[in-house]
Amino acid sequence: MITVLVIDDHAIVREGLKRALTQDPQVKIVGEAASKREAFPQIAHHNPDVIVVDLHLPDGSGLDIIRWARSNSKKIGIVVLTMSDLPEYIVASLDAGASAFVEKIAPISEVTAAIYHSHKAPLSFTTRRLVDVLAVKRNRHGLTGREIEVLELLPLGETVTNMAVNLFVSESTIKTHLAAIYRKFGVNNRMQAINAGRRKGLLK
């Protein structure tokens, strides 16, 4: 039996996923969470074999959950299930410690296969978009997972201090990430970085 915890801010997604996955007698849903705040205690309480997590949550990035879960366990399987199909997000998930990346439009059989894979080989990353991942990793302009998180905070007008608090890092680390974003995008300020991020499809 593989125990699974689902983390997604949309109730309809959680319910649909639970109904679909419970059709497999080897999979048991033990809990769910709709935010980062809910996810951490749920994971600690249920100690699931696998977590299925969206990258975009109302109170932050699912990448933070992935890093936290992986830092606490090398055995937990981590499946990213998200609408974001950009290669940069796949690479960010890989770098954070995910076991598999699946798009929400994929058939449930692909989600189930990812759960089985992540349970059996949690430290071995799998995705149908492997070619895209390798292309981004070869691209020196590709942002890291942390840099993507910082970039996503720019349109919100967050100060460096607030970014540091939100991402649990120092202000100097945020400044380093901002400098890296500017360098990789070939820009000089926040507004230019935001516009570049939108052109690349990394920001809405």
CA–CA separation, 174 and 181 (whole Å) = 11
| pLDDT tens readout for residues 127-177 | 876 655 655 555 545 788 788 889 989 998 989 999 998 888 899 999 999
pTM of the complete model: 0.72
Q: Which ranges of 47-170 does DSSP label H, i.e. alpha helix?
A: 62-72, 87-96, 108-120, 130-138, 145-153, 160-167
* Tokens representing residue 22 in the block: 């419970």
Q: How many CB atoms lie within 10 A of CB 144?
A: 17
Show the domains of the chain with their CATH numbers: 2-136 (3.40.50.2300), 145-199 (1.10.10.10)
* DSSP letter (8 states) at residue 75: S
| pLDDT tens readout for residues 1-44 | 999 999 999 999 999 999 999 899 999 999 999 999 999 999 99
The residue type at 115: I
E strand intervals along the chain:
2-7, 27-33, 50-53, 56-57, 60-61, 77-82, 100-103
